[in-house]
Structure 1
Amino acid sequence: MNSSTSHAGGVLIVGGGLVGASLAIALDAAGVATTLVEAAAPRTDAQPSYDERNLALARATVNGLAAIGVWPHAAAQATPIRHIHVSRAGEFGSARIDAAKHGVDALGWTLPARELGAALLRRLDACTRLTRFAPAKLESLEARSDGWRARISTVDGERVLDAALLVGADGTGSFVRGQLGIEAARHDYGQTLFVATVTPERDHANRAFERFSDEGPVALLPLVERRCGLVLTVPAEQAGEVAALDDAGFLALAQRRFGWRLGRLSRPGKRHPYAIHRVAAQRLTGPRAVLVGNAAQTVHPIGAQGFNLGLRDALTLAELVAVADDSGAPDVLERYAARRAPDREGTMAMSHGLVRLACLEQPALAPLRSLALLAHDRLSPLQRRLARHGMGFRGEPPRAVLERLP
């Protein structure tokens, strides 16, 4: 096999999913020489993360995507979320967040992951300081005094890549994380998530709903053409049974779990199941190396925080690297870990706590849960805090997410 070496003092990103691609674009925009290695071919039908999920993008996320030039390629397919309604089946409390009340036109936007993937690919094509290898397989990593050496296999033969900073953006089962010797705490929620699209009888009016129950959360997200993205969580032991349901049976289950707030649900799209696990790396950095996105933390999809959190990882890292003399220097990585800690820990605690509290079958908790929801609905300071965190503004966010939308 032919082999060649690429000598670079820049950044090597392993993983070109939603977060890895966003980081590559942000670094390119900042003028940082970057290499992106991705196992899948550069097509939306080949990249696993560009799938059928409907992403709830926080306002901060859309600000960030606009700042790096991705949002103009996706905006036409996005649906604004102007109202959020949170409730629990069989209990009296609920919480509502209204965009206008908080002085914004939208709390966030819903966008199919495949459409975001297509927008990222179009923006990647315009990058000028980025080298992409896709499809490519990472064969080995070797730590060196001034960075890392990676050996990859491509359709054109073996390549050897040198970089001052290694970034693991390669997902929940991160190869990079393992090579760095970083342990990860894992938790199996014993739940399976089904995503599909449905058409409600009544107009969703740009409202998003999250409803909790003993069986797990269910959400409806507004989409274009009056469709809604359905997110239905079931106990893992029931996943096979739910997957085998015909459309009528699946709709009946979704209707029972969600209720009739939008009338009858109809016209279900294809269902896609996802097992739900929590994976948290015990640290974010190693010698001249850093983890971002699901490689750093994979959270429960409750509250739709996964990509939103990962993008803030990427944009914070890009912001720090852009002004560094040495992208892999210890002080750069220390600042990254410190900047990300409040947001990361707060978001992970929120998602884990919500699923543990809101979905536990404990009747004694019912009045407390209802009172908590009512407090967030009626008390202005609590609602402002809930709205700010829901829009993705927590801790010290990257400057890019604070920019106003065009």
Structure 2
Amino acid sequence: MNASAQARHDVAIVGGGLVGASLAIALERIGVDVALVEATPAGTLPAVFDQRNLSFAEATVQALTALGVLQKLQAPAAPVRRIHVSRRGDFGRVRLDAADYGREAFGQVVVARDFGLALEARLAELTRLTRYRPARCVGVDGVDGHARTLRIRDEVGERTLSARLLVAADGARSGVREALGIAAQEHDYAQTLFVARVRSARAPDGTAYERFGEDGPTALLPRGDGHYGVVHGVARAEAEAVAALEDGAFLARLQRAFGWRVGAFLAVGARSMYPAVRVCAERLVAPRAVLVGNAAQAVHPLGAQGFNLGLRDALTLAELIEDGADPGADDLLAAYVQRRREDRDRTLAFSDGLARLTANPAPLLRPLRSAGLLALDRLPALQALLVGGAMGYRGQVPRLCRGGQA
């Protein structure tokens, strides 16, 4: 639905992907008038909702259930009951079992497309949401009184929106972030990640596997359809050659990298490839504007932290807006920065450190890594720290992530 050329809203969200759509749903429940600027037309899902597998931490599962999203899933999710971590060429391994922590599961695995359809079904129920689609933000203007204006272009032409708060949820290459003059630091891991669905001789039993190697991780996540979702990292220089492999040759490569813990790999579906690049905005806010999700930070997928972190951005912002009078007030944005600092810093450090350490081929690091894996496997206190972060409990956790009611 389009609004008038001079439409005014409480909050304007640019980006209708995982985090932007989730934020719109979270704001609806507290009575906020929201504009959602989406690049894709009605009836079409954003490209991010493909066959990738999303690993939802326990905190994320609780929040999305409270928001009424997971109830809309038409395909089954898969619980992650156990986690197995190892590195090719190193001794030691880490085995974590949710039952040891009084949990049925650490989280759930959902196919991105299935999640996108569930979000779309939930968005269709919202009554205070205006969706501008297909539309693109073509300019961000200054602050006028208690509002910021942005210019969008859609099928009708160019128009101006006014909002008390502008939210950039438009991904790692955020145009809104650039328009706000917020710089971002980048680190290219020189890895390309292949994502696919695979069938193995042994069906998933609730175990998620992370197998490290010098060229990146090979992760297997259980899926609700009885297959595994695989993420296979290769050196960037080899990416085109790996992309050209026939299915049998790709499965053989995957078998060498991962081993035989789930038996032989028998079949693989369509493969997608993505560069592994870390992007970190130097600031999270500007006058009456805020960054969330990948626009704020895009992390290496090791440990499956990306969407979980971005959702906590969105829910923290919604919580502060619920408790405040003006969604774009300076003190509210300052509180957002403070609330997100510990979770963001610790998650970024964990993801980046893990990616660098596990891929480093230096021989002297092998005994140290092996000792670390052995210690994690045998010391409950160290495991508890790892598990808490993996389940989404870092820093000041939003109420909905802790099982609060919507």
Q: Which residue of 2 is the match for residue 93 of structure 1? A: 92
Which residue is equivalent to 2:121? Answer: 122
The question of 1:370 aligning with 2:395 is answered: no
Distance 1:65 1:3, change over 3 A: closer
Q: What are the ranges of 5 or more consecutive residues in structure 1 without an aligned counterpart?
A: none
Partner residue, 2:187: 187
Change (3 A) 1:338 1:405: closer
TM-score relative to the length of structure 2: 0.97
Q: Displacement, 1:76?
A: 4.3
| Cα distance in 2 for residues equivalent to 1:68 and 1:226 | 27
**Alignment partners' CA distance in 2, 1:104 and 1:248:** 38
Contact 1:210–1:217 at 8 Å: present in 2 too?
A: yes
Change (3 A) 1:75 1:366: farther
TM-score by length of 1: 0.97
Secondary structure of 2:361's aligned partner: coil
- Displacement of 1:224 in angstroms is 2.1
1:141 is aligned to 140
Distance across 2 between alignment mates of 1:377 and 1:43: 47
Write the distance in 1 (CA, Å) between the matches of 2:345 and 2:42.
33
8 Å CA contact 2:81–2:106 kept in 1: the answer is yes
Q: Specify the alignment match of 2:170 in structure 1.
A: 170
- What is the SS of the residue equivalent to 1:43? coil
Query: Unaligned 5+ residue runs, structure 2?
Result: none
Aligned-residue offset at 1:146:
1.6
Match of 2:213 in 1: 213
* Equivalent runs, 1:238-277 vs 2, <5 Å: 238-277=238-277
**Partner Cα separation in structure 1 for residue 217 and residue 139 of structure 2:** 40
Tell me the CA shift for residue 154 of structure 1: 2.0
Match of 1:383 in 2: 383
Structure 2 counterpart of 1:309: 309
After superposition, the C-alpha distances for 1:273-307 in whole angstroms (9 at most, x for unaligned) are 00111100001000010000000001011111111
Q: Confirm or deny that 1:203 pairs with 2:206.
A: no
One-letter amino acid of the structure 2 residue matched with residue 15 of structure 1: G
Q: Distance in 1 between matches of 2:74 and 2:358?
A: 33
Q: Aligned residues: percent identity?
A: 51
Aligned residue identity for 2:277 = H
* 2:353 paired residue number: 353
Q: 1:3 and 1:26, CA in 2 relative to 1: closer, same or farther beyond 3 A? A: closer
Q: Once the 2 structures are TM-superposed, how far is the Cα of residue 5 of structure 1 from its aligned partner? A: 3.2
Equivalents in 1 of 2:288, 2:401: separation in Å?
26
Distance 2:121 2:396 in 1: 30
Task: Return the alpha-carbon distance in structure 1 between the equivalents of residues 61 and 42 of structure 2.
Answer: 23
* Partner Cα distance (2:9, 2:173) in 1: 27
| Contact residue 137 and residue 176 of structure 2 kept, 8 A | no
RMSD: 1.6
SS at 2:68 equivalent: coil
C-alpha distance after superposition, 1:107-165 (max 9, x if no partner): 01111111111100000000111111111121222112322112222223433211000
- What are the Cα deviations for residues 57-105 of structure 1, in whole angstroms up to 9, with x where unaligned? 1111111111111010127421000000000112211111111111111
Q: Which amino acid aligns with 1:50?
A: F
Q: Which amino acid aligns with 2:185?
A: A
CA distance in 2, matches of 1:76, 1:401: 23
